[in-house]
Every structure is written in C-alpha cells, then in structure tokens.
Amino acid sequence: MLRRRLNRLLSGDERRVDSRTIYVGHRPCPATEAFIPPKFCDNRIVSSKYTVWNFLPKNLFEQFRRIANFYFLIIFLVQVIVDTPTSPVTSGLPLFFVITVTAIKQGYEDWLRHKADNEVNKYLVTVLEDGRRTRKESEKIKVGDVVEVEEDETFPCDLILLQSSRDDDTCFVTTASLDGESNHKTHYTVPDTEKDLESLNATIECEQPQPDLYKFVGRMHIYKNDQEPAVRSLGPENLLLKGATLKNTQKIFGVAVYTGMETKMALNYQGKSQKRSAVEKSINAFLLVYLCILVSKALVCTTLKYVWQSNPGQDEPWYNQKTQREKDTNLYLKMFTDFLSFMVLFNFIIPVSMYVTVEMQKFLGSFFIAWDKDFFDPEIQEGALVNTSDLNEELGQVEYVFTDKTGTLTQNNMEFIECCIDGFQYKYQDAASELDGFCVTDGPLSKLQQKAGREKEELFLRALCLCHTVQVKESTGQGDGLMNQVDGLELDGEVVRPEDQRGFIASSPDEVALVKGAMRYGFTFLGLESKNMKILNRNNDVEMYELLHVLNFDPVRRRMSVIVRTKSGDTLLFCKGADSSIFPRVRQDEVDRIRMHVERNATEGYRTLCVAYKKLTAEEYAQADTGLREARLALQDREEKLMAVYNQVETGMSLVGATAVEDRLQEEAAETMEALQGAGIKVWVLTGDKMETAKSTCYACRLFQRGTELLELTVRTLEEGGRKREERLHELLLDYHKKAVQDAAPVKAGVTRSWSTANQDYGFIIDGATLSMVLNSSPDANSGLYKSLFLQICQNCTAVLCCRMAPLQKAQIVKMVKNSKGGPITLSIGDGANDVSMILEAHVGIGIKGKEGRQAVRNSDYAIPKLKHLKKLLLAHGHLYYVRIAHLVQYFFYKNLCFILPQFLYQFFCGYSQQPLYDAAYLTMYNICFTSMPILAYSLLEQHIYMENLLDNATLYREIAKNAMLRWGPFLYWTLLGIFHGLLFFFGVRCLFSNPALQDNGQVFGNWSYGTIVFTVLVFTVTLKLALDTRHWTWINHFVIWGSLAFYVFFSFFWGGIIWPFLKQQRLYFVFANMLSSVSAWLVIILLILLSLLPDILLVVLRKPRGPHARQLSEDCLPQTSRLQLLRRCPTST
C-alpha cells in the first residue's frame, strides 16, 4: 500500500489527469508530438503486512494496543523505578512470555504471505524487447511492455490484446480466479493493428486504474507513414485481466496497461488487517472495570494511611524512627510513591497470565479442527486448515453468513434434466440408449402424457443446436478435448465418428448443457465454419445454416437470439430466455400449455429457459439488418440503440418449448443452509453470476421457499415504469421497506432473530449496478437514506441474493452489515480469488479448497474441503470454543479477585504499611503454576453438551448468540462470587486467629501463618469450584486438577522445609508444616472450603434439566459404558 502511495506521489501527471497515455513497446510516436516517458508503478504484488525492518516496531505497537499488555508494561516500569513490596520479575516475566509467543506466531503467518507473493512476483514471463523475445520475472514488467502469453498461462498484468494465434483474431479466457465463473469468455484484438508488432507505432489513452472488472474505456492511436493516425475505441472486450487464464488459444501478444497494485485484481484486494474477536473486546471492557477497582483500592489505602498517620505517635513510633532523608522528602511525592506501591501490591487483580492462557487455549484448541476426521475429504486427501487461531470462539457467534455461489453452493456443473415441447413433457432417462428417436421403447426419452408432433420436436432441437454462442474444441489426439472437466462430450452412440469427437467451450456452462441435451436426442452441433453453423440431424444428414446475426444475452432483456438462413433461403430467428422475458412476446394460448411445466421446474430448483422462433420476411430481415449495423457503429448510446432494434425484432414469435437444466449443488448444501438458518444465522448469497441461475440455486438450497415473496431491486425493475432510475429506486425502496419492515409482524420477546417469526418470509434480490446506485448515490440526504432503507429491508428478509457483484462490491456489502447497528458478527465463505476481498473484510473468513486455485484458502482464517463442513465448524466446534473461552475469562477474573481481596482487607489490620499477606513465591506461582493448568485443560476439553446433540439441534446455537456468556450479567455474578469468597476466606481465618495460640505447646501463630492458611483455602476452593463446573471428565482433567492441588502441598513443604542460600529472609521456613500440625487450622480450612462451595454443591444436587437437550447430557448423568463410547466418538476429547 505504501509503495502504491509513493508511486502516486512521484507520478504527478497521474494525480492531475483522469487518463494515462501508454506508448506501445516504449516506442515514441512521430516527432510531431513531444515524448515524455510517463512513470507508473512496477508489477510487484504485495499482500504481506510486515517487512524485516518494520516487524519489531509495528508488531510491538499492535501488541501494546491491548490494555493488559500496556498496563503490565507500566507496572513493570514502576517496579523497576520505585521501591515496591514485590519484585519486577513478578510482572515482567509473564509479559515477556506473552509478547514473544504472539510475535513468533504473527511473524510466521506473515512469512507464509511473503512466500506466496514471491511465487507470483518471480514467475518468468516472455516480453518482446527490440524484436527479441526475452524471459524476465513478472515483477519487472513495465507499463507499455509487449508481453507474450501461451495457452493455460495466467496473464501477469492487465493487457490490451494486440495479436492472437487464432484466425478470427479472438482469444478465449477463463476468469474463475476473478469473478468465480469457470466458463470461457471471448476477447477481441484491436482492429487494424500490424501483424508485425515490431513495426507497430501506437499510443493508448485510457482511464486511470479503477476496480470495476466489467468496465474499461480507452482509445488507441495507430500511426502509419505520413498518414493521419487511425483511432480505434477500446472496451472491456479488448482488456485481458491479471489472474485470468488463456484457453483454447495457442498464444497471444498484449501490451501492459495496468501493473502491480494498479491491476483490477489488486484493486479488488482488501489489505489484510488485524482481526480481533468479540471476546477480546469483552476482556478489555472487564479489564477496565478491574482497573477501576484496583485504582479505587489503592486510593482508599493511600488516603486511610495518611489519615491514620495524622494521629499523634502513629506516623513515627518510638521503635521506628524516620531517617533524615525520609523527613526531607516532599509529602505529595511520598503520597504518590505510596499510591504506586499499593497499585503494585494489588496489581495481581489484573490477570496477565490470562492472556498467556487464552493464547495457548486458542493455539492448542485450533488443532481439534485440523484433527477432526469428519473434515477429511478423500477426494483431495486433505482436511481442514487453520490459518488464524485468534478467532476460534468467533465461530460460535456468527450472525450473518455471506457465501459465494459458483463452486461454493454449486459444483458449477450443469446437466440437462428434461424439456417440454408444445406442452408435452420429455424426461431424459437412459444415457446408454440409442440416440435416434423419441419412442418409449427405443429412445432415451419417456413421454409423460402424450407426444408432440415430430415437426415440433425437430424444430425445438434445431433451436437448441443453433441458438447459442458455443464453440467446438477439436480433440488434439491425446483425448484431452474429449473429456474436458466441464464440457467434454461423452457419446455412447455411434452418430459422431471418432475423429470428430470434440469438447465444447462457451461463455455459460448452461449453453453447453443444452447443446449436449440436443445431442442426446439425435441433433449434434458440429461447429461454426466461416459463418456457417453445421448440425448433424437424427438421420445422420449434415444441415448447414448461415449465421447472420447474434443478438447477445444481457441481464435486462434476459434472452438471446440468433438469425440464421437455411439452404432453402428462409430466414429464421431462434430465441431463448427466461420465461418472464419470452412469454409477453409470444401468443397467449401457447404460453398456457407450457407455463405449468416451467413453474414446476423452477420450484424444483432447476434453471428454466423458454425457446421460441419466428420466420422473418425479406422486408423484416432487411430492416433488422440495417438497424443492427447502424447501432453497432454508433459510438454514443450504442447499448440503447441495439436494445431498441433487439426489442423490435423479437416480437410476434411462436413458443416451441422449455428446458430444465440443473446446476448440481454441493454435497449436503441444502441441509447445511437449513441448519444455519435454524441456528438463527442469516445467509446472503453474493455472486458474480446471472440472476436467474442464482435464484434457482437459492430455491434448490432452500434459502428461498415456495411461499417466499421475492423483493427484486435490479436494473430490470428500475427500468419498468419508464421513469428516471433514481426516482424508481426511491419508490421501490420505500415500497419494500413498508412491506418487509413496517407491516411485518413484531418480533416475539426472547426470539433473537427477526426471521424466526412465521410471517417473515421475504427474500431480497439486488444486482451490482443497482447496489452501486444505493451505496454511491449522489452526496445528498438521499445517500444515507437509501443505505439505511436497504439495510433494514435486508435485515428483515429470510435470505438475500446479490448477483452480478464485482469482488469489491462483495466486500462493501460485508462491510456495510458489519458496521451496522449492533455490530453483528459476519462470516464470508468462498473458493475463488474473487472472494478474497469479502473473506478479508468479514470477522471470520473461510476458504473452500475448491477447483479455482488456492487464493481464497491462503487469505482465509479457516479452510475446509466442502461447504457441508461449515455446519459442524459453526454449530459444534464454534459453540464449544465460545463456551470454553467465556468460562475461562470469567473464571480468571473471579480467581484473581478472590486472591487479592484478602490482601486489601489485610491492610486495615497492618497500619496500611503495604505489608504483603502472601509470600512472594505464592504471589508469583498462584497464576503461573497453582491454578493455571486446570482451567487450561477445562478450556480445551470441556463439552457441556455433546457434539452429536449440537449438530442435531441447531437452535442450541442461539442460546449463546450475541456474546450471551460475556455480558455484564454473568460478569457481575462472577464478581460478586469472588467478593463473597474473598470476604469468607479473610474473616473466616480471622475468627480462628481471635486466639492465635493454636498449637499444643501454646506457641503463637504469626502473620505468615495467617496468610498461608488464607492462601491454602483459596487454592483449594478455586480449583474445586472448577471441578464442580466440569461436565466432561477425561483423564487429563483428573490429572491437572488433583495434580495441581498435590503440587501446591508438595511445593509448600519443599519451599519452607529447606534453608535457601539465595534468599535474604526466609519468611515461610517450616510455616506450612507447623500450620498443619494444628487441628484447629485443619478444621478451619475444611470448613471454609465447604462453606465457599456450598451454593455450587446445592446447585449441582438440586439442578433440574433444562428441556430435552439440557444438562442431563452431562457426564455425571451417563452410565460409564455410554460415557466411554461418547468419549471415543468426540474428536475434542482425544
């Protein structure tokens, strides 16, 4: 990003003007014009966050933005500078450990990003320089270089196509890594360019870099000897984008127009920012509360100290005279020093070790996702992958899922299912049958009801064979063209000879499916040769049709047509398109026969298309031909003029039939979407695909139900009514808002999602062009209003479909929802590079290890092999991670409050002298050794409800929604519990010490014995409290809980039983052993532990199960045998 900004600053000409001039091959134009070599950025791609030089300062800055880290740094400095009651090691060591572990983890993640960048930047490409072909690294390409790209290579930067190896001056590309579509797109060379690129003298004037993949405006000036320069317009059909792949073309030459971070792919890439979980934000809020408690304790003690010392004789008793230096010290400075000393004494109330434990819990917990055998995919021999362990608990808080369609919800593999001809249904059954007829006995179709006439059948099949833009890919001899992944032919009949076996390539996979469908029934498309389309009919005769015009598909018309001429001289128009687009243009009696089939197929989730035809008279054709030619030459309003001619020609047609094509869904896609909606998660589909395809996918995935009312906000609906688009947009938004928001039934109390009420059955559909109007409308009052209305409508719909989205628009949608009221947790899931922006924008990004490269996986937080794995990842793993870490956080604050409250109370009985209640060893070891391992084991292994139950009952996910376990209510409960236990420990032991002669020989117990008894009760109580909270016992839990208590007893004996030479004073020498020799001490310890835990014990005994899925699933309610079985089945307990 910095490099891009520097380049912008250096190239002042770019900043001032809206266009750039590029000299093809760096050759200056004729001397009539001045040659100023412009400066552009290099072709390096940078996705990493750190460099070797800025890693340390940048990483430390990010880490000290955490309140706890910054606080402990201050405390450490205070301990170093001021004479405090505890050693600097007690806070410095844990802080150093946390900072180091986090820095190593983040450094490793960034090293992986550097590695990925280097793979792209060091990739060798061929560049033409002074007539020679030279190989150079991709990062060294400059704007103006002429680059050679061969078949199946990706374009190293954005290029204008100058020359192609194909005879028709076209080339085919796939843009799967940009917009998710794996179909082939046709691009054209600039007309009238020299065949010998060495002698080409030209300049290109084009717009400055911008992220819209589908827009490009420019012109090329071609200079020839002493002639007026020829000017050719450039559009998106001439631009080859970085990241796209060359297909079915041996090689092309193109000139670089945008490089590096200015390519459209890079501009659509969101920079990787530090993602922080909602739990971390809750921790910071709780820390502030505890900081306030700490400061107030220190202020109270400091104030009371000086009040107490103001009494005569208290400030300087006869046995403790002040030194001269102490007498000369400024009173206010002394008060401030005392305040800092109290802060240091009580600072253990802030649990720094919690950060270490949380980091370890996240890091170790993430292995359970990687180890889960249910996530293993035998096809690719891989399981799940965790790139960022910081967000595990966020998986349990997701409110919105944004999913890509192609390759995520669907396999992008279209298959012809059935057709309807003249009202009669034909269903394909047996692919191995002969391909020569429609009879039930010998053909692959079974006629449901009766049979249409043979003439109609053949007309319909001819329409399928002619009305498309499919190209035939010849077999190269190795059979690679025969079994193409998406579009290979699989012919079982002997209609086509072996040497004619071929594959199909098309701009849309459903076109291939229709051509294949016609093949199954005896009509084979053989290809296009010099404007002649060849068909092999059922009688094995080759039919020839001259292709006169193609009326291209567009999302507003939602249909496409071809005009062809038969050998007999008839001119025919064949048209196919969406039912809503075709029905108004044909006779009503024909519509009634076919409508029922179309509607049934649509509700089954199939992609439906209607087929119509029209015989054109010579006058009609002449008029259409003239109109089309004139419109195509227009430089202004070309689209509108073409549309007018298309609409004029495509009227008065006859409806022949309809087709149903299935875009195969991913395995268990519908079940997964249903489970997510059951869990209260809203699903939005963001796709670059056409609306019809995306809509039928939503029906198939059960995101839209049969009763769902669809609210459509697309270019088509904006153009209805013949008014200005802005006015229509405003009107539609208000209308939909009234329907979905104002008139909707109010949400019942206790229901966390608005969709869950029975009446809320709206689905919302918007396209990229309309979204741009909503998000980027003119900077007046309407801009904010549109956005607000749009968001409210979407939030009240069961599902939202956004089609024709550019990658950056996907990220804009995610950002808009993420920043909306309430800050809902968002998750994006996709499989292509076009999904990277939204994956990086969302709180949690998930990549699918699909067919479209690994950019999504590399930039994601988690990667899974299939969409179906998302269900378990969220509903089981996410749920458990959240519950575990929420308990960990609350427990840490509770145990530290229990720990430090007696220390605070002790100051009232020691003259506010900052005398520690506990020995320094206990202060240091309490959080690091005595109480850390049990909570770590709990936070890794606890299963309050078994995984099977979490998956079977999706509604359980709602119980922890909206950060339910880390709200102020539970926090207050844990804080009050900590205060209750702290008071009980201190005053319980104080009652015992009302007569301190507790030993048989009458010897008196001292202050260290007092502190040790309090500490012993404390350690046992907080550890046994966790044992009572544990529902899922494993041998690890037993080992760490009982092991921690045993270690405490052993350490106390060991620490007090030896004279340590390195200690100036040994406060605990034989204190612990002496303490245990007193029966009274034993009695008080046991009594106080029981009293502290009595509420919890009663709760466990008297608790009633909460409904069918409640805590009766816990360990203690299961027989030993079934417990062992469940232990074996649950991956988290391994």
Nearest to 568 by CA among 543, 597, 535: 543
Q: How far is CA 476 from CA 108, 183, 481, 500, 512, in A?
A: 45, 20, 7, 11, 20
Q: Are 757 and 747 in contact (CB under 8 A)?
A: yes
Distance CA 657, CA 590 (A): 9
Distance CA 1033, CA 1123 (A): 10
Distance CA 186, CA 173 (A): 7
Distance CA 807, CA 836 (A): 8
Distance CA 211, CA 214 (A): 9
Tally helices (H) and strands (E) across the chain: 37, 34
Which of the following is catalytic: 372, 404, 487, 767?
404
Distance CA 678, CA 1040 (A): 38
Which SS3 state, helix, strand or coil, does residue 773 take? helix
Burial (CB count within 10 angstroms: exposed 0-12, middle 13-18, buried 19+), residue 228: exposed
404 catalytic residue (yes or no) = yes
Phi, psi of 254 (to 5 degrees): -145, 160
On the CB side of 875, how many CA atoms lie within 13 Å of its CA?
26
Tell me the torsion sign for CA atoms 959, 965, 966, 967.
positive
Q: Work out the end-to-end distance of the chain between its first and last CA atoms, rounded to an integer number of angstroms.
A: 44
Distance CA 463, CA 653 (A): 13
Task: Please report the DSSP string for 941-955 in residue order.
Answer: H--SS-HHHHHH-GG
Q: How far is CA 1017 from CA 580, 1049, 1068, 1093, in A?
A: 77, 12, 17, 11
Task: Please report the DSSP string for 1024-1075 in residue order.
Answer: HHHHHH--S--HHHHHHHHHHHHHHHHHHHHHHHS--TT-SS-TTTTHHHHH
**Count of CB atoms situated within 10 Å of the CB of 770:** 23
CA angle at residue 222 from 218 to 224, to 5 degrees? 170
Residue 682 tokens read as 């809203």
Nearest to 959 by CA among 672, 751, 676: 751
Residue 260 tokens read as 């590096």
Q: Are 413 and 509 in contact (CB under 8 A)?
A: yes
Which SS3 state, helix, strand or coil, does residue 199 take? helix
Distance CA 342, CA 335 (A): 11
Distance CA 623, CA 571 (A): 13
Cβ neighbors of 886 (< 8 A, separation 6 or more) are 279, 393, 960, 965, 966, 970
Residue 519 tokens read as 């093949």
Which SS3 state, helix, strand or coil, does residue 801 take? strand
Kind and range of the H or E run holding 618: helix 618-633
Distance CA 405, CA 180 (A): 8
Residue 827 tokens read as 């998750």
282-289: long-range contacts at Cβ-Cβ below 8 A with a sequence spacing of 24 or more? 282/889, 282/963, 282/966, 283/68, 283/354, 283/358, 283/889, 284/66, 284/67, 284/68, 286/889, 286/893, 286/966, 286/971, 287/67, 287/68, 287/71, 287/350, 288/67, 289/971, 289/975
Active site residues: 404
